[in-house]
Amino acid sequence: MTRKQKRLSVIVGGLAILGLAAGLVLYALRDTIVFFYTPSEISEKNVLPGTRLRLGGLVEEGSISRTGGTTVSFVVTDTIKTLNVSYTGQLPDLFREGQGVVAEGVLDASGGFIADTVLAKHDENYMPKDVADKLKEKGVWQEGKGAGP
């Protein structure tokens, strides 16, 4: 191989790798991202059952019930709409009534939400930023005071 051919083969090989990587990234970004919604947005956007999404809001006071065994159900609210969530497993330490929560999972056919992950921020001033932003948009969050009716 001449000098030029060698250089060309290195460049072409490099571009091929980068091209493949770019293709993978684009494909993955289309198929693996998960959208973040509040209960109101879910009803507005007619999200199809089975779509994977993140649900954010507040855990409604008095809504947590342990139906025996390891399944827990609770209601997530953005103070406008609510959604029933059921989750099998351990809740995070900081999961509390009246506090913010982020759950990841799918909507079932009857309009409930089956969560496989429930997230808590590692902070005692417990309000995930995602939730706070959404609640601010909905006008139920006051700066400095937290969520209020």
Whose Cβ is closer to another protein: residue 90's or residue 142's? Answer: 90
Binding of residue 93 to another protein (CB under 8 A): yes
Taking the complex as a whole, how short is the minimal distance between the CB of residue 32 and another protein, in angstroms? 4
Binding of residue 138 to another protein (CB under 8 A): no
Whether the CB-CB separation of 55 and 103 falls below 8 Å is answered with yes
Taking the complex as a whole, how short is the minimal distance between the CB of residue 84 and another protein, in angstroms? 18
Cβ-based neighbour number of residue 101 at 10 Å? 27
Whose Cβ is closer to another protein: residue 109's or residue 123's? Answer: 123
Per-position x/- string for 25-64, each x denoting binding to another protein as judged by CB under 8 A, each - no binding: x-xxx-xxxxxx-----------------x----------
Taking the complex as a whole, how short is the minimal distance between the CB of residue 142 and another protein, in angstroms? 16
- Mind giving me the DSSP string for 59-77? EPTT--EE-STTEEEEEEE
Distant-in-sequence contacts of 118-127, Cβ < 8 A, 24+ apart: 118/87, 118/89, 118/91, 118/92, 119/92, 120/92, 120/93, 120/94, 120/95, 121/94, 122/94, 123/94, 124/94, 126/94, 126/96, 126/99, 126/100, 127/99, 127/100
Which residues of this chain interact with another protein, rule CB under 8 A?
A: 1, 3, 6, 9-10, 13-14, 17-18, 20-21, 24-25, 27-29, 31-36, 54, 66-70, 88-91, 93-94, 104, 121-124, 128-130, 133-134
